[in-house]
Chains A and B, each alone.
Chain A
Amino acid sequence: MSYEAFVSGTGGFTPERVLTNADFERMVDTSDEWITTRTGIKRRHVVDPGMATSEMSEYASRLAMEEAGIGPEDIGMILVGTVTPDMALPSTAALLQERLGAYNAGVSDMAAACAGFLYGLATARAFVGVGQYEHVLAVGAETLTSITNYKDRNTCVLFGDGAGAAIVSRGKGKGKILSACLRGDGRQWADLQIPAGGSLREMEPSDLNNGRRCISMNGREVFRHAVRGMTESARVALRDAGLAQEDVNLFIPHQANVRIMNAVAERLGLTEDRVFNNIEEYGNTSSASVPIGLYEAHRDGRIRPGDTVLLSAFGAGFCWGSIVIQY
Chain B
Amino acid sequence: MSETEQKVKDIIVEQLGVNPAEVTDAATFDGDLGADSLDIMELVLAFEEAFKDESGKSLEIPDDDAAKIKTVGDAVNYIKEKQGVTT
Contact = CB atoms under 8 A, between A and B. Distances in A.
A223 B41 contact: yes
Contact of B38 (A38, A221, A228): A38
Contact of B45 (A38, A219, A257, A263): A263
Contacts of B42: 259, 263
A227 B43 CA distance: 12
Contacts of A38: 36-38
A219 B63 CA distance: 11
Interface in B25-80: 36-38, 41-42, 44-45, 63, 66
A224 interface: yes
Range for the number of chain B residues in contact with chain A:
under 10
A201 interface: no
B14 to A, nearest CB: 11
B45 A37 contact: no
B49 to A, nearest CB: 8
Q: Which of A38, A219, A224, A227 has the most CB of B within 10 A?
A: A224
B15 to A, nearest CB: 10
Q: Which of A220, A259, A263 has the most CB of B within 10 A?
A: A220
Nearest to A223: B41
Interface residues of A, number: 12
A108 B14 CA distance: 47
A41 to B, nearest CB: 13
Contacts of A263: 42, 45
Given A223-B41, A259-B42, A263-B42, A37 B36 contact: yes
A220 B36 contact: no
Contacts of B45: 223-224, 227-228, 263
Contacts of A220: 37, 41, 63, 66
B38 A224 contact: no
Nearest to B38: A259
Contacts of A228: 45
Contacts of A223: 38, 41, 45
Contacts of B38: 38, 223, 257, 259
A260 to B, nearest CB: 9
Contacts of A259: 38, 42
Given A227-B45, A263-B45, A221 B63 contact: yes
B29 to A, nearest CB: 14
Interface in A223-265: 223-224, 227-228, 257, 259, 263
Contacts of A257: 38
A228 B44 CA distance: 12
B43 to A, nearest CB: 11
A227 B45 CA distance: 9
A224 B36 contact: no
A224 B41 contact: yes
Contacts of B44: 224
Nearest to A221: B63
Per CB-CB distance, the 3 closest pairs between chain A and chain B, nearest first, are A223-B41, A259-B38, A38-B38
23 contacts: A37-B36, A38-B36, A38-B37, A38-B38, A219-B37, A220-B37, A220-B41, A220-B63, A220-B66, A221-B63, A223-B38, A223-B41, A223-B45, A224-B41, A224-B44, A224-B45, A227-B45, A228-B45, A257-B38, A259-B38, A259-B42, A263-B42, A263-B45
Given A38-B38, A224-B41, A224-B44, 4 more contacts: A220-B63, A221-B63, A227-B45, A259-B42
